[in-house]
Structure 1
Amino acid sequence: MPAKSKSQQKAAGAALAAKRGKIKKSELKGASTGMEKSMSEKELHEMASAKRKGKPEHAAHR
């Protein structure tokens, strides 16, 4: 499941870093906190590794 926006991708990257132990979980803010708890390392990697070119900064709410 690729990220729909740059901000979602950044949050997934932060959550992935915390899951791998590169940063403390207490340093996470906002959506990355929930992502770290609810998503697997594979899912976070897929979301964070997609290309950013052409993505909006924030996803539109639906």
Structure 2
Amino acid sequence: MPAKSKSQQMAAGAALAVKRGENKKSELKDASKSMVDFMSEKELRDMPSTKRKGKPAHASKS
């Protein structure tokens, strides 16, 4: 699942750090918290690895 925005990439990176035990879940906010619960480590690894060039800062809510 590729990220649609830079903010999704950053949220996935933060959630991945929690999955790996590098950070605490209590340090996360909003979307990152739900990503930890509902996405696998592989999905979280793939999201931030997508290219950033041409991505908006935030995904549209359409």
TM exceeding 0.5: yes
Deviation for aligned residue 1:49: 1.1
Look up the match of 1:57: 57
Identical aligned pairs, as a percentage? 71
Amino acid at match of 2:40: S
Question: How many correspondences in the alignment?
Answer: 62
Deviation for aligned residue 1:59: 0.6
**TM-score under structure 1 length normalisation:** 0.95
- Large movers: runs of 4+ above 2 Å: none
Provide structure 1 residue ranges, at least 5 long, that are not aligned to the other structure. none
Provide structure 2 residue ranges, at least 5 long, that are not aligned to the other structure. none
CA RMSD of aligned residues (A): 0.6
